[in-house]
Amino acid sequence: MTGRIHSFQSLGTADGPGVRAVVFMQGCPLRCACCHNPDTWDFNGGTEVTAEEVFTKIKRLKNYFGKDGGVTVSGGEPLMQPKFIKALFMLCKTDGITTAIDTSGCVLNDSVKEVLKLTDTVLLDYKYITDELYKTKVGCEKAKVDEFLEYLDSQNINTWIRQVIIKDLNNNEASVKALKELKEKYSCIKKIELLPFKKLCIEKYEKLNLQFPLAETKETTKQEIESLSEFLK
């Protein structure tokens, strides 16, 4: 089984439990205003590889994973290539390597459900609490993400909610408290991560001759994240 990947990160600690290999898939149907990886949008970009080739890279790192680590597939939107991820995760499972997916939750079909059966942790990028912001700043309906979360809960799949905190969009008490209410409603949610908005991606946009939608927005500070995190308690 072949798929298209953008890049491979050997050892990361920011994409799920423990130390992880991270596979960045190529292709995404969304146009999130805060996207840091516009170079992953093109479905024809990246490099074509086999699941076996990627697994070989992952397996070489297994000794570094420890008890909690493993592999995370990110993107792009990884679930746009479900057959490839299923093949990769099946190989990982045969070797005792834990699996995670970092996804927008905008895609849910039978092929995706097959992937989720092999997924230990889902990092769900729950970007905003209103449908209006989803339509204008993401490019999909919030209802699709809520449907995805409902399915995760019905299957009792370990879920982390992640949200990038952006000035004038979701850096407020109401938004963060809504995430807390989600955690109280859905038992599958084990953790909520508030992530600071950064503009390290501007150079990527310039190289692609694209305008970064949030170029004039101030970055989120560590202190702001700490303050908003109080509303999760």
pTM summary value: 0.95
**Mean pLDDT for the chain overall:** 97
Is it true that the peptide bond before 76 is cis, omega within 30 degrees of 0?
yes
Return the domain boundaries, the chain.
Answer: 2-232
User: Model confidence over 52-78: pLDDT tens digits?
Assistant: 999 999 999 999 999 999 999 999 999
Contact 157, 150 (CB under 8 A): no
- C-alpha torsion sign, points 74, 77, 79, 83: negative
Considering only CA atoms, which of 52, 71, 72, 74 is closest in space to residue 62? 71
Q: Give the count of alpha carbons within 13 A of 220, CB side only.
A: 23
CATH label, 2-232, candidates 3.20.20.70, 1.10.540.10, 3.30.70.890, 3.40.50.1980: 3.20.20.70
Instruction: Check residue 41 and give its pLDDT.
Output: 97
Instruction: Check residue 193 and give its pLDDT.
Output: 97
- C-alpha–C-alpha distance, residues 141 and 138, integer Å: 8
- C-alpha–C-alpha distance, residues 5 and 7, integer Å: 6
Instruction: Check residue 202 and give its pLDDT.
Output: 94
Instruction: Check residue 214 and give its pLDDT.
Output: 97
User: Model confidence over 189-233: pLDDT tens digits?
Assistant: 999 999 999 999 999 999 999 999 999 999 999 999 999 999 999
| Residue 201: C-alpha distances to residues 36, 38, 67, 85, 212 (Å) | 5, 8, 33, 26, 8
Q: What are the DSSP calls for 160-179, one per residue?
A: EEEEEE-TTTT-SHHHHHHH
32 Cβ contact list (under 8 Å, min separation 6)? 104, 127, 137, 138, 139
The beta-strand segments (E) located in the chain are 2-12, 20-25, 47-50, 70-74, 98-103, 121-125, 158-165, 189-196
136-157 burial, b if ≥16 CB within 10 A, otherwise e? Answer: ebbebebeebeebbebbbeeeb
Contact 100, 17 (CB under 8 A): yes
- C-alpha–C-alpha distance, residues 186 and 216, integer Å: 36
Longest Cα–Cα distance in the chain: 47
Q: Which residue has the tokens 């991270």?
A: 22
